[in-house]
Structure 1
Amino acid sequence: MTVGILGTKLGMTQIFDEAGKAVPITVVQAGPCPITQIKTPATDGYTAIQVAFGEVREKTLSRPERGHLSKHSQTPPMRHLREYRLDDTSPYQLGQAITVDIFSPGQLVDVRGTSIGRGFAGYQKRHNFKRGPMAHGSKNHRLPGSTGAGTTPGRVFPGKRMAGRMGNATVTIRKLQVVRVDSERNLILIKGALPGKPGALVSITPAKVVGHK
C-alpha cells in the first residue's frame, strides 16, 4: 500500500480546462498531516505509519488521546487519526508532515469517506422498486410485495432487499483524477463527486492501477 492524506471536503464547483470545457471538481482541504506513530513488525507485527488531521483544543481530547499524541511534543492536539500500511517505513520519521505535494495533476486517486445519511428509507427510494397501480381499488401503492415463502422455509432470507437505513456508510470512489494541486493553500481539486457532505472527512490515496497481463 501507499501513503495517503486526510482532508475535509469543501464542496463542488467547476473550472475550465485549456480547451475551454467545463470540468466538475470537488475541492478538498487536505493536510498537512503529521506522522504520530510508526509501526514496525517488532512492536506491532506489521509496518505502517499513523497520521493525524484536524487540529482541536486540547481539552476536547481524552487523556489517552492526549498521551498518545504527546509522545511527539511537536504534534498539536488532533481530532482524526488514520494509518496507512507500507512495505517500508524507513523514509518516514515521527513529526514529519504529509502534504498535498505527494499528489500531482493528472494522477488517479481513490477517495474514501462516509456517504450522506438518508435515514430510514422505503423500498422505492432505497432499492428503486416500482410502485403499484395508483387506482382507487388498488391497495398496493408503495408496498414491497411478497418477501418470502410460506410454510417452507417459513422465514425471510438474509439479504432480502427491504426498507431500512440508507446511506451513512463507508464508501470508496476509485480512480478519480486530480485536476490541480495548490500547495500554498493545501488544496486538492479532484474531478467528480466525493462521498459525504461539505465538511466531511475523506482519505485520499493513490489509485491501485492493475496492469494487463
Structure 2
Amino acid sequence: MSEQNEEVTTDSDPTGAAESAGLKLPGLFATKVGMTTVYTENGDSVPVTVLKVGDWRVTQVIKSADRGYSAIQIGSGIKKAKNASKAETKAFGAAGFESGAQKVGEIRVESDLEASVGQAVDIHSFTKGDKVKVTGKSKGCGFSGVVKRYKFAGGPASHGSHFHRQPGSSGNRTWPGRVLPGKRFPGQYGNKNITVRGLKVIEILPEESVILVKGSVPGAMNTLLRVEKI
C-alpha cells in the first residue's frame, strides 16, 4: 500500500501548471489561421482569431552595448538548402537551422536577457486574460475609389444623376484654387502595416501551439503577425 502511495505522489503536476524550459518573451510571432467562435463558462459566445505560433528558437541575443538596444532575434522553419546563402548557413547554423531560417524577427526587451542560441521560445510568454497588440500587413485591395477607400457616400443612383461614385469637388473656387495636401482621392488601398491594440487572450493551447485572441486581426490567412504584450 505504501508503494502505491509513493507512485501516486510521483505523478506529474495535477494542475498542469508545470513550467517549461522555454524562453519567455514580451512578444511572439504567429501565423493567422482564421476565425472561429468559442464559449465562455457563462455560455457567452466570443469571436476569436486562431494564431498558430509554431516552433521558434533563439538565433541571436542582441545586447544594448553592441546595438544600442536589447532584443532577442528568433527564427522558425528551415529553408531549403538550395535557397540558403553561405551567410545564412553560418549565422543560423548554431541555432539548429542548418540551411537558414524561413522566418526571422526581433522582439525588443527592456534589458539584456539571459538566453542562449538555439533555446526554444515558450508559448506561455502570454497567459489567459493578457491584453496584447497585434501588428501585421492588411489585405491589399489594389487601386480603389473613394467610396471603397474612405467610405464616401457617393451621389444619387438615379433620377438623371451623373454623379455616382466620383470624389466630387477638390479645389473649390478662387480660394484656395488648388488641391490642398492630404485631400482624399482614389489610390492604393490596404497592403499596409496595421496595429490593433487592446485584444484579449482568450485561451492558450500548448498542445496545438495555438493562441486564441478575441476579435479580428490584420491580414489574410497565413499572414505572419507580431503579438506583443501591452
> Which TM-score tier does this pair reach, normalised by the shorter chain?
0.7 to 0.9
Which range moves more in the overlay, 52-61 or 148-157? 148-157
Counterpart of 1:75 in structure 2 is 97
Counterpart of 1:211 in structure 2 is none
Matches of 2:91 and 2:52, distance apart in 1 = 25
Letter of the 1:75 counterpart = F
User: Contact 1:104–1:178 (CA<8 Å) still a contact in 2?
Assistant: yes
Deviations 1:19-42 (A, max 9, x none): 111111111110331111111233
Question: What TM-score do you get using the length of structure 2 for normalisation?
Answer: 0.81
Matches of 2:77 and 2:172, distance apart in 1 = 51
Counterpart of 1:123 in structure 2 is 146
Judged with a 3 Å threshold, the aligned counterparts in structure 2 of structure 1 residues 3 and 93 are, in CA distance, closer, same or farther, namely: farther
Report matched runs for 1:11-30 at 5 Å: 11-30=34-53
Question: What TM-score do you get using the length of structure 1 for normalisation?
Answer: 0.87
Which range moves more in the overlay, 7-16 or 50-59? 50-59
Match of 2:203 among 180, 197, 204: 180
User: Contact 2:155–2:163 (CA<8 Å) still a contact in 1?
Assistant: yes
Letter of the 1:131 counterpart = G
Q: SS state of the match for residue 146, structure 1?
A: coil
Q: Which runs of 5+ in 1 are unaligned?
A: 208-213
Percent identity reads: 38
The structure whose Rg is larger is 2
Q: What is the aligned residue count?
A: 205
Q: Which runs of 5+ in 2 are unaligned?
A: 1-24
Q: Which has the higher contact order (CA 8 A, sep 6+)?
A: 1
Aligned Cα RMSD in Å? 2.0
Structure ranking higher in helix proportion: 2
Matches of 2:158 and 2:38, distance apart in 1 = 48
User: Contact 1:109–1:175 (CA<8 Å) still a contact in 2?
Assistant: yes
Deviations 1:87-146 (A, max 9, x none): 222322221111211111111111111111111110101111112123353221111111
